[in-house]
Amino acid sequence: MNKNGMRLPQYVALLVLVIISTIYIYSSIPRDNITNESKIVTFKETPAEIVHGDTTKKQVIFTFDGGGGSQSAIAVLDILKKHNVKGTFFLTGKFIENNQEIVKKMVSDKHEIFNHTYDHPYLTQLPEGRIAREFEMMDSEFQKISGVSTKPYFRAPYGDRDTRVLDVAAKAGYRSVYWTIDASDWEEATGMTAERVQNKILSNIKPGGIFLMHLGDNITGKILDDVFIKIKAQGYKIVSLTQGIR
């Protein structure tokens, strides 16, 4: 018997009941309500990632990544000119080095060109200093041709980014641009057809949508003109990134 008059078995039983009750109450708390301070601070300091444009307007945004080849580059530029559309390109530094005349034409045609890193790495696998260097090196290559910076937007190669990558990018002056729909033109080598890519685009037309396409495949150049014609027939306007996020 303890000093409160309880027998030992009663005391042990009460103690066990208290412990079980405490565990039950804690486990019932929604996990989202348990604060991770470092996570909250990190996201607070990182600008929101862009995944779509203005959804109140009947318009869509086409973006073109240039990281490797340039098979569709000239066709894309010709089609943009034909339709009087200002395009948005995310280029790597190596693409610029290997395709200087194409990039000069993009600049002279007044298209938007933003940062896609220097050599298209998986950014989440790199140390922070190397991530920042990727942005810096690409920007330097573009400035040699254009005299202007690629800031304030970038797109992570392979869409490979996390909070740490976004933090480094923000400190370097860049905001991430993802996409609403991946057209899958880059899957050409594994059997993706032009018809399937076109159907994927046209079946996902919604106000503010950002479409991801590429310059290093043959599909984009083949279908883009027809895609633009059919999108316009639906009453949509095709705009650049900066025009579409206002």
CATH number for the domain spanning 222: value is 3.20.20.370
Is the residue at 69 inside a domain? Answer: yes
Same-domain status, 175 and 230: yes
Per residue in 89-99, pLDDT tens?
999 999 999 99
Spans of the chain, pLDDT less than 50: 2-3, 6, 8, 11-12, 14, 16-46
Question: What is the pLDDT, as a whole number, of residue 149?
Answer: 97
CB of 214 within 8 A of CB of 72? yes
Same-domain status, 194 and 140: yes
CA 198 – CA 203 distance, rounded (Å) = 9
CA 178 – CA 114 distance, rounded (Å) = 13
Question: What is the pLDDT, as a whole number, of residue 177?
Answer: 97
CA 37 – CA 2 distance, rounded (Å) = 43
Same-domain status, 17 and 129: no
Is the residue at 49 inside a domain? Answer: yes
Same-domain status, 184 and 230: yes
Same-domain status, 71 and 119: yes
Question: What is the pLDDT, as a whole number, of residue 7?
Answer: 56
Same-domain status, 26 and 148: no
CB of 131 within 8 A of CB of 165? yes
Per residue in 226-245, pLDDT tens?
999 999 999 999 999 999 99
CA 135 – CA 131 distance, rounded (Å) = 7
What is the CA 201 to chain-centroid distance, rounded?
A: 17
Q: Structural domain of residue 51, as residue ranges?
A: 44-244
Beta bridge partners of 182: 212
Same-domain status, 20 and 52: no
CA 11 – CA 31 distance, rounded (Å) = 33
For residue 53, give every residue at least 6 positions away whose Cβ sits within 8 Å of its Cβ, in sequence order, or none: 59, 60, 61, 208, 209, 210, 239, 241, 244, 245
Question: What is the pLDDT, as a whole number, of residue 9?
Answer: 52
CB of 102 within 8 A of CB of 127? no
Same-domain status, 148 and 215: yes
**CA distance to 68, 91, 142, per residue, from 97 (Å):** 11, 10, 9
| Single-letter residue type at 79 | I
How many domains does the chain divide into?
2
Same-domain status, 198 and 91: yes
> β-strand 181-182 against 153-154: which pairing, if any?
unpaired
Same-domain status, 25 and 60: no
Same-domain status, 112 and 48: yes
